[in-house]
Amino acid sequence: MDNTQLIQEVTAKAQVWLGDNYDAETRAEVQRMLDNEDKTELIECFYKDLEFGTGGLRGIMGAGTNRMNIYTVGAATQGLANYLNKSFAGRDKISVAIGHDSRNNSRLFAEISADIFSANGIHVYLFESLRPTPEMSFAIRHLGCQSGIILTASHNPKEYNGYKAYWEDGGQMIAPHDRNTINEVNAIKSIADIKFKGNPELITIIGEEIDKIYIEKIKGVSMSPKAIENQKNLKIVYTPIHGTGIKVIPQCLKAFGFENIISVPEQEVISGDFPTVVSPNPEEPAALSMAIAKAKEVDADIVMASDPDSDRLGIAIKNDKNEWILVTGNQNALLITDYLIKQWKEQGRLNGNQYMVKTIVTTELLKDIADKNGVEIYDVYTGFKWIAGIMLQEEGKKEFICGGEESYGFLVEDFVRDKDAVSAAAMIAEVLAYAKENGKSLYEQLLDIYLEFGYSKEKGISIVRKGKSGAEEIQAMMDNYRANPVKELAGSPVTLIKDFKTLKACKPATGEVYDLEMPETSNVLQYFSADGTKVSIRPSGTEPKIKFYMEVRCPMASRADYENASAAADAKIEAIKQSLGI
């Protein structure tokens, strides 16, 4: 399509938005874009429709079909309402829970959605103000709702917002409900199809009463109250990074028994502009810099940071040189998992009927811990909805211990069905208290896990290729890895290849092929080598990137050998990049 034709098409789409069905502010914004000689912004806002995918909506806020606004959010809500009314026809009451984070327009989008659901005869439980995503998941189950939504773009930059949809189990929707909802959303062809005029009688405001029940339930997963009592004055620096954790996470830590929670006042300002950070992402060192500065000032024991919707948790701890270091998502998962399983075992609760879940790109050390203790472990695709899917599958049959992913998401309880920074914060504080009670630092606790199960280091690498040509290049890279499989990784022969696009696994040495049991296909390729290396390759579903997840094993003879092992792992990762041609 040439540029003239594209401009003609987006102009025609934009002119529809000048109609009386749209509010004055939107009409003025669209007219401004139409009047501008430079049509770049007009094209970006209208060249396609913001897609309601399996994860819901996510996009830049503004006017237009390719933006997050009350009309694209409205279409999503109307489509979901239509699907709920079809799926639960005949019920006396269909209900949904609605939550939102601190982003600009999140409250507006939540209230618009509440109006639309109620206009469609669906009872709404709307949180009075911002709340963590996992608390909304909890509310769905606790209140017996059939669905729920959260208005959040997680840790994306301030220009973004998003809309995630959940089913009655409290997890994000998976098949068939995700595809069926997408079909209903796509069937909304005009804003005239959207019922914006709400029914106040069907909207119930909820708040602190749910907070109290949620926190009390999380308190019930505590394993070592005596250790906490003895270490209750641990200095915990916590920052919500301008987000939803501001009240609930400190309250939960105090409910566990921790009395010394130290805030970062500048980051307790609730703001969708996230004024103290470039990106409100606890995976990024810059997001924790103010909290670490506060920790140095008060000589704290640990630093914690949650993202705007409080489902991811980043932490920092002191090493043996008293230097503050960041803990990766994999390491946080190791610390909590090792602690939980040992506590379950010590308390005589392991009987072979327990399980845990990890994603396929998360460290294999979690599997080693599970195997050593006779705990079944499931490997699922990236995304916590797949962990929730296993929990639904095993509900009432087996006991859930925990689930985690490398991207800083963890869950220690079964009454929530999404990653939960609230419970993860309380539990990592408990792990710290238990370690200190036994004469260790959290750093030493981590090193001792490596000594027991072997040292592992993980590194993620993303290669960005923008535009149509970039997408084609990424696809060509995936095709090449499949057509010409890598034979060695840093000199270690590849012993197993898993292709989740074909759901086949192959052992190159023998030619043996077997099926992979997964709920659906996914464009992910994995290589395993003789020395324990694992490399996962997949295109990003939301960005113009191809992602490489590398995990390498290296010998580690003692705590003092940690830095040598880490350096050897870095060298091996560089060699693996050569093997992969990146």
Instruction: List pLDDT tens digits, range 324-346.
Output: 999 999 999 999 999 999 999 99
Per-residue model confidence (pLDDT) at position 542: 63
Among 13-27, 434-448, 507-521, 528-542, name the one with the lowest average pLDDT: 528-542
Return the closest-CA partner of residue 479 out of 545, 537, 549.
Answer: 537
Structure tokens at 282: 């606890």
Residue 1's pLDDT band (boundaries 50, 70, 90)? low
* 52 lies in some domain: no
For the stretch 489-514, pLDDT in tens is 999 999 999 999 999 999 999 999 99
d(CA 354, CA 369) in angstroms, rounded, equals 13
Same domain, 11 and 98: no
For the stretch 363-389, pLDDT in tens is 999 999 999 999 999 999 999 999 999
- Domain final residue pick, 167, 190, 206: 206
Same domain, 220 and 202: no
Return the closest-CA partner of residue 249 out of 436, 442, 420, 435.
Answer: 420
Rg (CA), the chain: 24
Strand 123-127 and strand 95-100: the pairing is parallel
Same domain, 196 and 264: no
Same domain, 252 and 285: yes
d(CA 179, CA 522) in angstroms, rounded, equals 15
* 275 lies in some domain: yes
Task: Give residues with Cβ within 8 angstroms of 7, minimum separation 6.
Answer: 39, 42, 43
- Domain final residue pick, 398, 418, 453: 453
* 57 lies in some domain: no
Mean pLDDT, residues 73-98 taken together: 97
Same domain, 354 and 323: yes
d(CA 113, CA 125) in angstroms, rounded, equals 11
Mean pLDDT, residues 108-128 taken together: 98
Residue 55's pLDDT band (boundaries 50, 70, 90)? confident
d(CA 84, CA 80) in angstroms, rounded, equals 6
Q: Is the pLDDT of residue 130 over 60?
A: yes
For the stretch 249-288, pLDDT in tens is 999 999 999 999 999 999 999 999 999 999 999 999 999 9
Same domain, 482 and 414: no
Mean pLDDT, residues 176-204 taken together: 96
Same domain, 373 and 248: yes
* 321 lies in some domain: yes
What distances in angstroms separate CA 409 from CA 180, 272, 399, 546, one per listed residue? 27, 22, 20, 21
Q: Which domain holds residue 75?
A: 67-206
Same domain, 98 and 237: no
* 9 lies in some domain: yes
* 58 lies in some domain: no
d(CA 538, CA 359) in angstroms, rounded, equals 13
Q: Is the pLDDT of residue 393 over 60?
A: yes
Same domain, 82 and 155: yes
Greater pLDDT, 168 or 48: 168
Per-residue model confidence (pLDDT) at position 467: 73
Q: How far is CA 479 from the centre of its chain?
A: 28
154 catalytic? Reply is yes
Q: Is the pLDDT of residue 240 over 70?
A: yes
Residue 4's pLDDT band (boundaries 50, 70, 90)? confident
Structurally, how many domains does the chain consist of?
4
Same domain, 197 and 144: yes
- Domain final residue pick, 453, 485, 517: 453
Same domain, 29 and 43: yes
pLDDT, the chain, mean: 96
Count the Cβ atoms, other than its own, within 10 Å of residue 520.
Answer: 11
Dihedral, CA atoms, 87, 90, 92, 98, nearest 10 degrees? 10
d(CA 367, CA 295) in angstroms, rounded, equals 33
Local structure of 440: helix, strand or coil: coil
Q: With pLDDT > 70 as the criterion, what percentage of the chain qualifies? A: 99
* 428 lies in some domain: yes
Catalytic pick from 95, 118, 147, 154?
154
d(CA 252, CA 425) in angstroms, rounded, equals 8
Same domain, 421 and 464: no
For position 109, which CATH number holds?
3.40.120.10
Burial class of 574 by CB neighbour count within 10 A (0 to 12, 13 to 18, 19+) = exposed
* 145 lies in some domain: yes
Q: At what angle do helices 208-219 and 421-437 cross, to 10 degrees?
A: 40
